Structure 1
Amino acid sequence: MNASARPHPAAPGTRPEPRRSMVVCGLLGVAVMAAVDEIVFHQILHWHHFYDRSTTGMGLMSDGLLHTGELLGLVAGFFLYADLRRRRSLSPSHALAGFFLGLGIFQLYDGIVDHKLLRLHQVRYGVDVTPYDWAWNLAGLVLLLTGVALAVRAARVGRTDSGSGSGSAS
C-alpha cells in the first residue's frame, strides 16, 4: 500500500467534533430505546403494538415498520460513529450526553405524543394505565435530564480545555 492510500489530509482527524458526536450518539440513543420498547413491550410482554387502533395484523405491520426504522437508525448511527472514530473526531463526553438525550427523547416522545396526544397505543391494556404512564414518562425524564447534565458537564470541560493553553485546570 502506498502513501497515497492514506485518509484525506483535509479530514479534521485531530480535532474533536462535540456537536456531531452528540447528534450521532443521539441517533443511536433513539434507535436503542426504540429497540428496547419494540422487543420488550411489543414482542416479549405483548403489552401493545406500535399502532393498536386497528386489526392485530395492522398492529404487527406497524411493529415491523418500527423495527425497520430502529434498525436503519442503528446502522446509520454505527456507520456515523465509526466515521467519527476513524477520523479521531469523537468527543466521548458529548457522545455519552447525546446517547442519553436520545434515550430520553424517544421515551418521552412515545409516552406523551404516541400514548396521549395521538393515542396510537397505551403502555398496557386491561389495567389502570396511570402508574404505567407515570413510570414510563418519569423514566424518560430521568434519561433526558441525565443527558442534559452530561451535556452541560461536557460543554464546561470543553470550554476549560480549549480556554487554557496548558490544558490544566485548577
Structure 2
Amino acid sequence: MKANLEQQQNPRPLIVAGLFLGLGQGGFFDGIVFHQILQWHHMFSNIESSKTIIGLEINTLGDGLFHVLDWLFTIIGIICLWRAGNREDVPWSTGILLGSVMMGAGLFNVVEGILDHHIFNLHHVKPGTHQLAWDIGFIAVGVLFILLGWWVIQKFSHLETTSK
C-alpha cells in the first residue's frame, strides 16, 4: 500500500506553479532593484534617445510592460498553485515549492540575460566599465539558482517519499 501511495504522488503541478512564481518574482526583483532602486538601467537603456525626456518616457513604458509580464507570471503561478492544492496526488511540500521558485527565478535571469543583454542588446545590468562581466554574472547567478533549486527539489522529494 505504501509503495502504491508513493507512485501516485505527482509533484509536477507544484513545480509548474513554483516555476511561474519564480519567473514573476525574479522579474519583479530585477525591475525593482536594478531599474528603480539602483537605476543602473531601464528596459530600453541602449536606445540612442534614452537620455532625453522622450527616451525616459519610452523606458518608463518599457519598464511598465516588463512589470506587467512579471505580474502575469505571478498570477499564472498563483492559479497553478491553487489548482495543485486542490489535487490529492500532489505532495504539499515547502521544499519542492521553494526549489521550483528558485529554478523559476534562475530561469528568468538566464532567459532575460541572454535575450535582453546579448541578443537584442536592449540594456546591460550595469552599463559601462565591465558591463560584459556584469551581464555574464547575471546569467551565472541564474544558472546557480536553477541548479540549487533542482537540488532542493531532489532533496525534499527524497525526504518526503522516505518519511511517509
TM over 0.5: yes
- Matches of 1:168 and 1:102, distance apart in 2: 27
Contact map agreement 2:100 2:149 (CA 8 A) in 1: yes
Q: Is 1:131 aligned to residue 124 of structure 2?
A: no
Query: What's the CA shift string for 1:42-92, capped at 9, x where partnerless?
Result: 111111112224322221111000111111222232233233234453541
**Amino acid of the structure 1 residue aligned with 2:114:** I
Contact map agreement 1:53 1:120 (CA 8 A) in 2: yes
Which position in structure 2 is the counterpart of 1:103? 105
Greater relative CO (CA pairs within 8 A, separation 6+): 2
Query: What's the CA shift string for 1:146-170, capped at 9, x where partnerless?
Result: 0221233345456xx3xxxxx669x
- Matches of 2:91 and 2:115, distance apart in 1: 32
Q: How does 1:128-167 map to 2 (within 5 A)?
A: 128-157=130-159, 161=161
Which structure carries more helix by proportion? 2
Which position in structure 2 is the counterpart of 1:4? none
Distance 1:123 1:19, change over 3 A: same
- Matches of 2:75 and 2:9, distance apart in 1: 22
| Gap regions ≥5 residues in structure 1 | 1-14, 162-166
Distance 1:90 1:68, change over 3 A: farther
- What is the root-mean-square deviation in Å for CA atoms of aligned residues? 2.3
TM-score with structure 1 length normalisation? Answer: 0.75
Match of 2:116 among 110, 114, 117: 114
| Gap regions ≥5 residues in structure 2 | 1-7, 48-54
Which position in structure 2 is the counterpart of 1:25? 18
Which position in structure 2 is the counterpart of 1:5? none
Distance 1:136 1:49, change over 3 A: same
